[in-house]
Structure 1
């Protein structure tokens, strides 16, 4: 069984990796300084970004395993738990890392933006696969942050460090956009499977027993994190996943209204609405008419 470790501070994670602490709230790590180790069960109270330069073992998050290959970037946010295992008894870490405590960004523009970087809650299997050029950009940005940490602290330090972290994350967002495009053949399969799942859901008894389907429900069915799934759908269709679900729901509702004598109340319950007035309100917002007006119009 893996040892359980909790990292709520930068120093604790630095000590674990035999790395000096230059700043109490942020660190750029060189994992080659760490001692060979066994697998561990790790709980994080900090933001952590790992760039692996060699294959070093398998990561597990929830029910998913990810074979952690060279040139991948993985993001972990506060509150996440990660298992690091290896097919051999001991492995030698290698690569680079950027860690920072939530307190570092308090009162900075990055604090208002951090939730927009959805990749901190992606599954490990949704890691960012970097090209050699992208990898060099990431390493250059890590070096900029590291050089600033080595300087004496002055009134500009926090602003420059957090600005560079924000720039780092902006590049990661750009690289993820590229990955969504270059993996289009994979994404189209997910989109068609999403359509199948929606059709299956609304043609089953699930709307009666479970109500309206959520984005998280379909993400789980597709073995994706809700954030990654939502970002993928947005990139592929231009719509949010929630908007896409509602479009499908309205499409089915139109067919039921026009093709049957069922009451609006019956149709609302069939679609998973707990209250028929909520269905009527959404229908009018999306179509421009109430369900009854739409029936009379057609």
Structure 2
């Protein structure tokens, strides 16, 4: 009888604890001045990134980058971070930055995860995971933006000076695909309107590789008709007056074309003139979703 009572008491405590964990929040739970009553909403959700094959994911555990098998939860080192850190330091990166990058969840791998794209000193570097060799791909004063691997991993694409470039990772030889980029012409790089209103804040890339790595589709934006908008940047310590291309209601938007650049061709990239919102690229064809325009008043 005593044993039955103990079991019943244990079950009651379990049910009470479960109920307490799942009870509805009250005003006191949220705003109480008593820290013992107030619910602590602090903390960060666990961050992870799936591997290219979808069979595992990488995650930070105890300050190290690991590969986790979702089937059983087993974690193994994702790469030799010590060797990677040494290579980064030899390239001129500080010990602190090298340590942080060598165990970063945001490492940019190629699809086979045999190489990592590194940005250091405003230039692009290629790290071979197997050999531990870090090779410099670019060496210019200008910054390379929106860099990405081609699907086959043989090329790196990027935007410099609002022009689209590729570089051969085997020979570190770059080639310019567009030549009319400048203050008013953006090739493969989104302006304020297309980033903010169409592709989403923080998405500046305006180009896409074909699956066979033979071509790149890109947007060419002409900002000439867009009026300048003056604003004050008061986030920085010393306020700065900025002039940016920004169409207010009723103002003209940028003129947009779709360009096709062939990786193997020597001729300039060609462009068409649809007004497009989305691109879906196959090996030989581009599907363009156009925005309907009504001229009726």
- Quickly name the TM-score band, shorter chain normalised: under 0.3
TM-score for both structures, normalised by structure 2: 0.24
Which is higher, the Rg of structure 1 or of structure 2? 2
The structure with more strand, counted as a fraction of residues: 2
Per residue, is there more helix in 1 or in 2? 1
Calculate the TM-score normalised by the size of structure 1: 0.24
